[in-house]
Structure formats: structure tokens, C-alpha cells
Structure 1
């Protein structure tokens, strides 16, 4: 499913535990990683020969560690702005996933400087996984795929998120999938049928499935349900029904990326699924 993953790395930040946990993606088909440490063009100290050499040394060390575990690993140290460079590398590598870490809640998700996470998700047409780390010790909060919350509005643009959530829920181990239909007004007439179909497909894959239908502000409802369900991962589409370009980031997805306590997988509506 996620055969080739581009991993955003910044060794002065919360990335060692993230790199140490990459083997968890093996069960979802991971075979190849590209580790990317972007040297910021607006940070002169990162452009010094000493800093470049140390960044490269650490990348090569992690490359060797992952290769010993049987992965193919590439390393990149481009100079520029993080979001732009990560998208360039991911598109050039034809990656299936972009992975980065986030320490804590709220604006801690805006790592490096400013709104890099949001800019990255806006720019890319590749699924992006923001893995939450515990701010106390920089370790993953929980088993990433143990309890998946799929938030859908039933629109065409949510189909990519739905497909990815079903595939993740069908992975090895005892996995739970909560299907959340959320709308600001009364749900469409066919919403119940759509949820039943998704639930049946997930159960056929062996997942433990729960279904919830809620009304209200989507971002607030999704955040609340994620807390109530103790979701380890929230899967959402990049946009809902709004008639904007695919590369734009919807208000709901933006708020979830910034504020939800769980890890978040943002899936563009046209993202293909690479099955194992």
C-alpha cells in the first residue's frame, strides 16, 4: 500500500523516534524510504559546511540502520523551503506517502517554522501522514493503526480517504475502524446506505467496525469523536464538496491537521491505492 515513503527529517526536532518506528509501515507494504532533511535557505547556520556534513552523516547512519532491516533507502539534503522541497522529492520519487512527525497538539504541528505542515498538505497530491509524538518523551502516542477513525461527508472527493481507511483496517492484527459521517445539516438520503456498504466491506476484511452519524461543525465533531473513541489515526479527505482545486486544503482538513490529538492521514480525492 505504502511501498515508497518519503520521510521528512530534521534532526534538531522530533524525528529520531519517528525514524526508529518506520518498521511499523512494513505491514502496510513498505519496501523503500527516501529520508529528506531540508536545509532551510533562510537559516544561514544550516548552510554551513559543518552543518551539512553532520546532517549527511546522520542521514547515512539511519540509512544503514534501515537497510539492515531489509529496506531500500535513499537520502536527500536539498536546500530551500521545506514544504516545496519535500513535494519535489516525493513527486520525483513517485512516492505513495509523505510521512512527518508532530510533537504535541495545536500549533506544535507547524514544525520547522511557520505553517510548513499545512503548506505541505496544500501543495501535494500524495497522501500525507502526520504522526503524533508524545511531547514528554517524543515517542509515538500509540499503535498507529490500532483504531482508525474515518471521517467522511460521503462526497466523491472523500472516496480516496474511504479506500485508504478500508485497506488500513484490513491489515494484520486486531484493528478497529470507526466510520464517522458528519455534516453541518441533515445527512443526504443515501448516507446510511453508503455507511452500511463501507462497514460491510471493512468487516469482510476482518476489522471491528463501529458507525457514528453526527451533525455540527465538521472539524469540532471530528476532534470530539477522535477523543471519545481514543482513535490512534484519523483519516480524512483533502476536500469535501466545495468546488475548489484539488491542491487546495479544505477548512475541515486544515483544522484537523492543526488541532486533533491523534495522528492524521490526509488523502487527496484522486490518490491511487497501491495494494500489497
Structure 2
């Protein structure tokens, strides 16, 4: 599905956590090539390790490790600028199908005021983004998939991705959260989706849950120990994509399970 992915690489101690999750994520997404990408933040004071030669050496070590541990092609690239924008630009230049990044910050207040690389990336990326929380538990062999949907047009790509992945993990959940301000039209819109899965995939269970969408989705994913939560990004215009506070962004920020955001 996402055969070629950009993998965001940084120097943080927590970043090594990504090695625990890559084998499962790569298999689930059908990844065949990883382009390791490190962005030197030119607006910050440079550190000794921020020269291209040192960074390339660092990436080469990771490249060798991944080539040994995973059956994928691996290459690397160094870019300079603002991380989120440069990662999105790298994906475009390399014609990548998606981006994989580690989220090291669950702080809603800090993210809202200052943003963080991963959340900014979800706003500007034109390709799917896989967000792996630094504190996520490694998925076990029988972990289910999870699709969050409201039946809208913006969730169709997420639904298609979910159905493709059911060839690898054949069981999971389709979850619709009915918010307090939803009307009957919302229920009518999502009913055909729930009916489709009930009739087509016997091992996929449908759930209707009342409450705050982001909070309930994160809680349900944690409760069911899902391997991946798939959700569609809201917004069809650049301005809409930059708005803070969407359900998808809130889920990506707070989730303790890997999240795939589909444009």
C-alpha cells in the first residue's frame, strides 16, 4: 500500500523506540523502501553533530541496521530548514507514498501554543502520515486494526486503506463516535458504512460510542490494544488543513497507539 515511505530520523534518545514498531508497521503497510530523512534546523544554533558529514554517518549506521533487520531497501537524505516542511518536501521530491514519524510529545498545551514537528507534519503533508508514539507498546501478533469513521467523504481514503490492510490482519473495529452536536443526518451518513463492514467482513466489529470523538477514539484504541488506528484528515483546502483542533490531530497528539492519518 505505502510501498515507499520517508522515515523521519532525529538524534533524541526516545527516537530509538521506533525500532520496536517498524517491523510490524512495515509489514502492515507493505513498505518496500525507506528513505531515512534528517532535517537540520537552520533556525536553531548548530550543534557539533549538525554537519552533513556527521549526519550522513549517523544515518548510514541506521541504514545498515535496518537493512539487516528488515527486508526493505533503505537509503538516506539530509535536508535543511523547518522539519515538518522539509519532511513533506522530501516526500514530494522522492515520490514517496507516506511518511513515518515518532511523536515524542503528548502535551496538548505545548502543541497548541508552539506546535511540534509531527503535528505540524500532519497539517502540511500531502501524503499519509504514520505517527508512532514514543511510549507506545509493541503490538502483539493478534492485535486488531481500527478504523475511525463518520461516513463522510473525508474518511473514504481511510476506509480504503483499512480494507487493504484487512488482507494482512483480518480482524478489527470500525468505530463511529456520536458527538453531542451530531444530528440525525450524521447517523444516516454512517449507517451504510457500518452495514458494508457487517456484510463483508465477518471478523470486523462495528462500534457506536457517545462522547468526545478524540478522547473516546484514543481510549478505545488503548483498551483494545490496536496495532494501528486509521483516521481521515479533515479539510480539503490548505487553510482548513492548518486549523488546530481537528479530531484527527487531537487523536494523533494524544494516542498511545500508532495512528495512520489519511489525506
Instruction: Return the TM-score normalized by structure 2.
Output: 0.83
Counterpart position of 2:161: 164
Q: In structure 2, what is the Cα distance between the partners aligned to 1:151 and 1:248?
A: 21
* Cα 1:109–1:16 shift into 2, 3 Å: farther
Matched residue of 2:187: which SS?
coil
Match of 1:273 in 2: none
- 1:234 and 1:57 mapped to 2: Cα distance? 34
Q: Determine the C-alpha separation between the residues in 1 that align with 2:173 and 2:126.
A: 25
- The aligned counterpart of 1:260 is 255
**SS of the residue 2:168 aligns to:** coil
Aligned-pair RMSD on alpha carbons?
2.8
Question: Tell me, what secondary structure is at the counterpart of 2:64?
Answer: helix
Whether the 8 Å CA contact 1:96–1:126 is kept in 2: the answer is yes
- What's the secondary structure of 1:189's corresponding residue? helix
Once the two structures are overlaid, the 10-residue window that deviates more, 188-197 or 94-103, is 188-197
Further displaced range: 143-152 or 53-62: 143-152
**In 1, Cα distance between equivalents of 2:32 and 2:63:** 13
**Secondary structure in 2 matching 1:11:** coil
Q: 1:37-76 maps to which residues of 2 (within 5 A)?
A: 37-46=38-47, 48=48, 51-68=51-68, 69-76=70-77
1:213-238 C-alpha deviation (Å, 9 max, x unpaired): 12333222222322333333221110
Structure 1 residues without counterparts, runs of 5 or longer: 269-276
Relative to total residues, which structure has the larger helix share, 1 or 2?
2
Rounded to whole Å, the distance in 1 between the matches of 2:177 and 2:88 is 30
Report whether the alignment pairs 1:10 with 2:5: no
5+ long unaligned stretches in structure 2: none
Write the distance in 2 (CA, Å) between the matches of 1:123 and 1:31. 24
CA distance in 1, matches of 2:166, 2:176: 17
The change in CA–CA distance for 1:142 and 1:120 in structure 2 (over 3 A counts) is same
Contact map agreement 2:232 2:262 (CA 8 A) in 1: yes
Give the direction of change, closer, same or farther, for the CA distance of 1:80–1:140 in structure 2 (3 Å limit): farther
For 1:117, what is the secondary structure of its paired residue?
A: helix
Alignment correspondent of 2:246: 251
Number of aligned positions between the proteins? 253
The answer as to whether partners of 2:59 and 2:76 remain within 8 angstroms in 1 is: yes
Q: Which moved more, 1:228-237 or 1:116-125?
A: 228-237
Contact 1:233 1:264 in 2 (8 A): yes
1:145 to 1:103, Cα distance in 2 relative to 1, 3 A: farther
